[in-house]
Amino acid sequence: MTSFTMGKSLRRRFHRLGSLPYFYDVSARWAIWLAVPAVVCIAYTVIAGLVLVPPDYQQGDVFRILYIHVPSAWLSLFAYTTMAGAGVVALVWRLKLAEIFIVAAAPVGASFTGLALVTGAIWGEPTWGTYWVWDARLTSELILLFLYLGVIALHQSIASPRTAGRACALLSIVGVINVPIIHYSVVWWTTLHQGATLSLSGGSHMESDMLWPLLAGALGFSCLFGWLTLWGMRVQLLWRERRSRWVMRRIVNG
């Protein structure tokens, strides 16, 4: 029984003291592997979207905003889903890194959601004739923004970082019920918002010339999300462990 507790406490100590500095060091290298594809892909998407791709047969040049709108809308949902997944990991396995991930990903996800809403409004005016309608897809995307803001607000109002991380984990899990509702809102209520541009079953309704920049944009935005979140995590990690020796050592050594 004593050896069992000793093993457990040793393992816990290893987790606490071992993995965080390791992650901090290794993540600096991962960040580069995310940053390079992010910059390359997004640059390609922007250039292709603005210049290379022909105008749409119906919407003309207006549709070019799609190359920003669609990837950010995808990422807004994807980021929340990963946060909920990390929430499960944080609560079940008590993994500190998962808590930190949620805290770091929330502002990034909120930014993507905001970007999707703004570009959607800009796109909506010329095509639908209105900046905003209380359409199911738009409304639920707005609610997603509020979910992100809720996680951020909860994190800011709890003083103890450990508790704040776990509280945010639970809230992300509870909020994930909205993600399928957002995803299916276009199918359930036949609304103004068009259906998915790409779907796994139905294939794409897009010309391949137009499609490739979009896919590149999605990849680029995903890498951007990973990159920004990783940096956010590193900052959170330094702040949380600011009293520990390994942080001191790294700051002293530069």
Partner 1 sequence: MTHRLSVAGLRCGRGERALFAPLDFVADDGDIVRISGTNGAGKSTLLHTLAGLLSPISGTIDWCPDANEAVPSLGLIEHQNALSQVLSPVENLTLLSRLAHPASRIDQATIVDTLETLGLRRLAHQPTHTLSAGQKRRVTLARLWLIAPRVWLLDEPVAALDSAARRRVSQRITRLAGGGSVIVYTTHERMGLGDTRCVALD
Partner 2 sequence: MTRTRRRRLLLVMCLLVGLGGACALILIAFRQDMLYFHEPSAIAAGDVPINTRFRVGGLVAAGSVERPGDGLSVQFKISDCTATVPVRYRGTLPDLFREGQGVIAYGKLMADGEFVADRILAKHDSSYMSPDTAQALKAGTSDACLPANRQYSR
Partner 3 sequence: MRRVFWAVFRRELAIAGRQRGALVHQLLFFVLIVALFPLGTNTDQTVLIAVAPAVLWMGVLLSVLLSLNGVFRADHEDGTLTQYLLAGEPLAVIALAKMIVHWLASAALLVVAGPVLMLMLGVSLDAWPAMILTLALGTPTLVFVGAIAAALTLRLPRAGLLLGLLVLPLYVPVLIFGAGVVRAAIVGLPYAGAVYIMAALCVLAITLGPWAIAAALRIGLDA
Query: Which residue, 63, 176, 51, 50, is CA-closest to 120?
Result: 63
Helix, coil or strand: residue 204: strand
The two tokens of residue 73 are 């809308």
Between residue 174 and residue 233, which ones bind partner 3 under the rule CB under 8 A?
174-175, 177-178, 181
Angle, vertex CA 172, rays to CA 171 and CA 173, nearest 5: 90
**DSSP secondary structure string for all residues of 23-45:** HHHHHHHHHHHHHHHHHHHHHHH
Which of partner 3, partner 1, partner 2, none does 2 bind, CB closer than 5 to 8 A by kind?
partner 1
The two tokens of residue 205 are 């309704």
Binding mask 140-179 for partner 1 (x = CB under 8 A): -------------------xxxx-----------------
Q: Binder to partner 3 among 149, 198, 211, 215 (CB under 8 A)?
A: 149
**DSSP secondary structure string for all residues of 124-164:** HHHHHS-S----HHHHHHHHHHHHHHHHHHHHHH-SSHHHH
Bridge partners (DSSP) listed for residue 198: 204
Between residue 205 and residue 244, which ones bind partner 2 under the rule CB under 8 A?
205-207, 209-210
Q: Binder to partner 2 among 66, 77, 102, 173 (CB under 8 A)?
A: 66
The two tokens of residue 217 are 């944009």
Identity of the amino acid at 185? S
Which of partner 2, partner 1, partner 3, none does 134 bind, CB closer than 5 to 8 A by kind?
none
Q: Binder to partner 3 among 8, 11, 162, 205 (CB under 8 A)?
A: 162
Q: State how far the Cα of 15 lies from the Cα of 134, in Å rounded to an integer.
A: 48
Beta strand pairing call for 198-199 and 203-204: antiparallel
Q: Does 195 bind partner 2 (CB under 8 A)?
A: yes
Binding residues for partner 3, rule CB under 8 A, total 28
Query: Which residue, 14, 106, 120, is CA-closest to 71?
Result: 120
Is 12 or 205 the residue whose CB approaches partner 2 more closely? 205
Q: Does 130 bind partner 2 (CB under 8 A)?
A: yes
Which of partner 2, partner 1, partner 3, none does 27 bind, CB closer than 5 to 8 A by kind?
none
**In the complex, least distance from residue 154 CB atom to partner 1, rounded to whole angstroms:** 16
Q: Does 2 bind partner 1 (CB under 8 A)?
A: yes
**In the complex, least distance from residue 211 CB atom to partner 2, rounded to whole angstroms:** 9
Residues at the contact surface with partner 3, assessed by CB under 8 A: 91, 136, 139-140, 143, 146-147, 149-150, 153-154, 157-160, 162-164, 166-167, 170-171, 173-175, 177-178, 181
